[in-house]
Amino acid sequence: MASREIEALANALARLPGLGPRSARRAVLHLMKKRENALQPLLAALQTVSEKLSTCSTCGNVDTSDPCSICADPRRDETMLCVVEEVSDLWALDRSRLFPGRYHVLGGRLSALEGVRPEDLTIDRLVARVSNGGTDEVVLAMNATLEGQTTAHYVAERLEKFPVRLSQLAHGLPVGGELDYLDEGTLAQALRARRPVA
């Protein structure tokens, strides 16, 4: 249909999550039609990110600077640390703008099945961060999956000996959740963690 170069671009775009072969072709056409307003800005943005991309040596976030923009932000509460599995979890939490502290990205979750052991994650680095002092509270924000909770349990054990408060995200009904559609596990958690009506 089109030249090899255009096919290559369509293929590269089609590998992005959320774009299939058909929408990738539409995107290519869009880019070629709007050369100044779409192709050039995307190219420039990709180039900048590609040049500057780095993993924060403190928290494990990916950003265009090291330390990352969160670790470098003086308005962030240094005494609070939120531990997450992946960078995508950090982004999701930070979009809510509700956590004023800093983060620690483990880089995955413990999994016997996938052969992920504690030394494959950045747990040692987390322990070192906490042992340096200055941290009052560590929020364990792993996924509410078996592996996420196993990881949280393991991290909690490793941090027990330090004078920090350990907490974890509440489990229960999601906003808008209808009892009829929720699984028994969620309902059990919500019932067990029920709170007195104020």
Residues forming the site for a second copy (CB under 8 A): 1-3, 5-6, 8-9, 11-13, 15-19, 23, 25-33, 35, 38-43, 45-50, 52-53, 62-65, 68-69, 87-88, 91, 94-95
The helices-and-strands tally (H runs, E runs) of the chain is: 7, 6
Q: Of 57 and 64, which has the nearer Cβ to a second copy?
A: 64
User: What is the smallest separation between the CB atom of 33 and a second copy, expressed in angstroms?
Assistant: 7
Preceding omega of 100 cis (within 30 degrees of 0)? no
Rounded to 5 degrees, what angle do the CA atoms 91, 83, 73 make? 60
User: What is the smallest separation between the CB atom of 146 and a second copy, expressed in angstroms?
Assistant: 23
Q: How far is CA 90 from CA 7, 11, 97, 100, in A?
A: 35, 29, 11, 12
- Cβ(151)–Cβ(110) below 8 Å: yes
Q: Of 48 and 131, which has the nearer Cβ to a second copy?
A: 48
User: What is the smallest separation between the CB atom of 174 and a second copy, expressed in angstroms?
Assistant: 17
User: What is the smallest separation between the CB atom of 150 and a second copy, expressed in angstroms?
Assistant: 23
